[in-house]
Chain A
Amino acid sequence: MSTQRGRIRITGFDPTRVDERDPLSEWVEDGETEPESRWRRAWRRFRRNRSAMLGVAVVALLTLLAVFARPVELFGVTVQPIALTPFEPDTILYLTPEYANIGPYSPPSGTALLGTDGTGRDILSRLLYGGRYSLSIGFIVVFITAVIGIVYGSVSGYYGGLVDEVMMRVLDVIFAFPGLVLALVVVATLGGGYWQLVLAFTVFGWAGYARLIRGEILQVKQNEYVMAARALGARDRKVIFRHIVPNALAPVVVQASLSIGTVVIGVAALGFLGVGLDPTTAEWGTMLNAARSTLIQGPGATLPWWATVFPGVAIFLFVMAMNLIGDGINDALDAQDTTVTQGGGA
Chain B
Amino acid sequence: MGMQDADADSRVSSIRRRMLGALGAAGITTLAGCPGGSGNGTEEGSGETQTQAQQQTATPSAVDEIVEGGTLNVGLTSNPNSFDPPYSSGVPSTLVQNYFFESMVASDQQGNLYPWLAESYEVADVQETDRTEYADYMTTAPVTTNDDGVPIIDTPEQVVVQHPEDSLTDSAGNPVDEVRILLRDGAFEAATDGVFGMRLRYNLHEGVTFTNGEELTAENVVRSYDRVENSQISAQYFNTFLAAEAVDEYTVDLYAQVPDAEAERALPYYVFSTEQVDLDGGNLDPRQGNPPIGTGPWNFESFEDGNSFVVSLRDDYYMEDVGVENKEWYDGPEDFPNGPVIDEITHRFISEDAQRAAALQENEVDVAHGLTASAQTNFQDSADYQTKAVETGGYLFMQYPVQVAPFDQQNVRRAVNHLIPRQRMTDNIEEGWSRPAWTPLPELAYGAGTTDPEQLEEDLRPLNEFDPQRANELISNADVETPIEVQIETNSDNQNRVQKVQAIAQAMNQTDLFDATVETFEFGDFVGRLLDPSYAERGNIAVIGLSGTFNPGSFVDATHDIENFAQCCNFQMVDFEPINEGIDEARFDIDVVGNQQERASRYDQLWRQVVETSANSYLDIDLTVGAHSNDIKGFDAYPFPEGMYSYATYAPQSQQITYIDRES
- A-to-B contact residues, CB < 8 Å: 90-92, 94-96, 103-105, 118-120, 188, 191-192, 274-275, 278-280, 290, 292-301
Q: Are A280 and B375 in contact (CB under 8 A)?
A: no
Min Cβ gap B367→A in Å is: 13
Min Cβ gap A330→B in Å is: 38
Q: Are B378 and A298 in contact (CB under 8 A)?
A: yes
- The listed residue (A279, A298, A301) touching B495 by CB distance below 8 A is A279
Q: Are B354 and A299 in contact (CB under 8 A)?
A: no
- The listed residue (B353, B377, B506) touching A293 by CB distance below 8 A is B353
Also in contact, A290 and B495, with CB within 8 A (given A105-B374, A300-B378, A300-B382): yes
Besides the contacts A275-B522, A294-B354, A301-B374, what 9 more A-B pairs have beta carbons closer than 8 Å?
A95-B424, A120-B428, A191-B522, A274-B522, A290-B495, A293-B354, A296-B361, A298-B375, A298-B376
Q: Which residues of B contact A280 (CB under 8 A)?
A: 498, 502, 518, 520
Complex: A275 Cα to B523 Cα, angstroms:
11
Q: Which residues of A contact B355 (CB under 8 A)?
A: 296
Q: Are A119 and B499 in contact (CB under 8 A)?
A: yes
Min Cβ gap A119→B in Å is: 5
Q: Are A90 and B354 in contact (CB under 8 A)?
A: no
Complex: A91 Cα to B506 Cα, angstroms:
7
Q: Are B357 and A296 in contact (CB under 8 A)?
A: yes
Complex: A279 Cα to B627 Cα, angstroms:
28
Q: Which residues of A contact B358 (CB under 8 A)?
A: 296
Count the B residues whose beta carbon is within 8 Å of the partner chain — how many? 43
Q: Are A297 and B502 in contact (CB under 8 A)?
A: no
Complex: A300 Cα to B382 Cα, angstroms:
7
Q: Are A294 and B522 in contact (CB under 8 A)?
A: no
- The listed residue (A95, A120, A275, A296) touching B507 by CB distance below 8 A is A95
Please tell me if B650 contacts chain A, counting CB pairs below 8 Å.
Answer: no
Also in contact, A298 and B361, with CB within 8 A (given A95-B506, A103-B428): yes
Also in contact, A95 and B372, with CB within 8 A (given A280-B498, A295-B354, A296-B354): no
Complex: A278 Cα to B379 Cα, angstroms:
31
Also in contact, A119 and B354, with CB within 8 A (given A275-B522, A300-B382): no
Please tell me if B51 contacts chain A, counting CB pairs below 8 Å.
Answer: no
Please tell me if B577 contacts chain A, counting CB pairs below 8 Å.
Answer: no
Q: Are A104 and B354 in contact (CB under 8 A)?
A: no
Q: Are A301 and B378 in contact (CB under 8 A)?
A: yes
Min Cβ gap B628→A in Å is: 12
Q: Are B519 and A278 in contact (CB under 8 A)?
A: yes
Min Cβ gap B15→A in Å is: 47
Q: Are A94 and B428 in contact (CB under 8 A)?
A: yes
Also in contact, A299 and B520, with CB within 8 A (given A118-B495, A292-B354): no
Complex: A91 Cα to B509 Cα, angstroms:
11
Min Cβ gap A309→B in Å is: 15
Q: Are B375 and A297 in contact (CB under 8 A)?
A: yes
Which residues of B342-379 are within 8 A (CB) of A? 352-355, 357-358, 360-361, 371-372, 374-379
Q: Are B371 and A298 in contact (CB under 8 A)?
A: yes
Also in contact, A298 and B382, with CB within 8 A (given A103-B428, A191-B522): yes
Bitwise interface map of B from 488 to 521 toward A, beta carbon under 8 Å scored 1, else 0: 0000110100110011001100100000001111
Q: Are B502 and A294 in contact (CB under 8 A)?
A: no
Complex: A261 Cα to B84 Cα, angstroms:
47
Can you name the residue of chain A whose Cβ is closest to the Cβ of B518? Answer: A280
Complex: A105 Cα to B375 Cα, angstroms:
13
Q: Are A274 and B372 in contact (CB under 8 A)?
A: no
Please tell me if B23 contacts chain A, counting CB pairs below 8 Å.
Answer: no
- B-to-A contact residues, CB < 8 Å: 38, 352-355, 357-358, 360-361, 371-372, 374-379, 381-382, 384-385, 421, 424, 427-429, 492-493, 495, 498-499, 502-503, 506-507, 510, 518-522, 525, 627
Complex: A96 Cα to B507 Cα, angstroms:
9
Complex: A104 Cα to B568 Cα, angstroms:
32
Complex: A182 Cα to B414 Cα, angstroms:
46
Most buried by B among A96, A105, A297, A301: A297
Min Cβ gap B626→A in Å is: 14
Complex: A295 Cα to B374 Cα, angstroms:
11
Q: Give 25 pairs: A residue, B residue, CB < 8 Å, sorted on A.
A: A90-B506, A91-B506, A103-B427, A104-B429, A118-B499, A119-B498, A191-B525, A279-B495, A279-B498, A280-B502, A280-B518, A290-B495, A293-B38, A294-B374, A297-B378, A298-B357, A298-B361, A298-B376, A298-B378, A298-B379, A298-B382, A298-B627, A299-B378, A299-B379, A300-B378
Q: Which residues of A contact B492 (CB under 8 A)?
A: 192, 274, 278-279
Q: Which residues of A contact B507 (CB under 8 A)?
A: 95
Q: Which residues of B contact A275 (CB under 8 A)?
A: 522
Min Cβ gap B630→A in Å is: 12
Complex: A296 Cα to B350 Cα, angstroms:
14
Min Cβ gap A238→B in Å is: 49
Complex: A207 Cα to B289 Cα, angstroms:
46
Q: Are A192 and B428 in contact (CB under 8 A)?
A: no
Complex: A295 Cα to B356 Cα, angstroms:
11
Min Cβ gap B343→A in Å is: 28
Q: Which residues of B contact A297 (CB under 8 A)?
A: 354, 357, 372, 374-375, 378
Q: Which residues of A contact B519 (CB under 8 A)?
A: 278
Q: Are B518 and A95 in contact (CB under 8 A)?
A: no
Also in contact, A192 and B522, with CB within 8 A (given A297-B375, A300-B382): yes
Q: Which residues of B contact A294 (CB under 8 A)?
A: 354, 372, 374
Min Cβ gap A28→B in Å is: 68
Q: Which residues of B contact A290 (CB under 8 A)?
A: 495
Min Cβ gap A280→B in Å is: 6
Min Cβ gap A187→B in Å is: 9
Also in contact, A299 and B361, with CB within 8 A (given A275-B522, A293-B353): yes
Min Cβ gap B524→A in Å is: 9
Q: Which residues of A contact B371 (CB under 8 A)?
A: 298
Q: Which residues of A contact B352 (CB under 8 A)?
A: 292-293
Q: Which residues of B contact A188 (CB under 8 A)?
A: 522
Q: Are B502 and A92 in contact (CB under 8 A)?
A: yes
Can you name the residue of chain A whose Cβ is closest to the Cβ of B376? Answer: A298
Complex: A295 Cα to B361 Cα, angstroms:
13
Complex: A300 Cα to B384 Cα, angstroms:
11
Q: Which residues of A contact B354 (CB under 8 A)?
A: 292-297
Complex: A297 Cα to B372 Cα, angstroms:
8
Q: Are B520 and A94 in contact (CB under 8 A)?
A: no
- The listed residue (B421, B428, B493) touching A104 by CB distance below 8 A is B428
Also in contact, A299 and B522, with CB within 8 A (given A95-B421, A95-B506, A119-B502): no
Q: Are A94 and B381 in contact (CB under 8 A)?
A: no
Can you name the residue of chain B whose Cβ is closest to the Cβ of A293? Answer: B353
Complex: A244 Cα to B503 Cα, angstroms:
57
Min Cβ gap A283→B in Å is: 14
Can you name the residue of chain A whose Cβ is closest to the Cβ of B429? Answer: A104
Most buried by B among A188, A192, A301: A301
Can you name the residue of chain A whose Cβ is closest to the Cβ of B372? Answer: A293
Min Cβ gap A3→B in Å is: 58
Q: Are B381 and A300 in contact (CB under 8 A)?
A: yes
Q: Are A299 and B382 in contact (CB under 8 A)?
A: yes
Min Cβ gap B2→A in Å is: 29
Q: Are A279 and B522 in contact (CB under 8 A)?
A: no
Complex: A294 Cα to B352 Cα, angstroms:
11
Min Cβ gap A196→B in Å is: 12
Complex: A192 Cα to B526 Cα, angstroms:
12
Q: Which residues of A contact B502 (CB under 8 A)?
A: 90, 92, 119, 280
Q: Which residues of B contact A191 (CB under 8 A)?
A: 521-522, 525
Complex: A320 Cα to B221 Cα, angstroms:
67
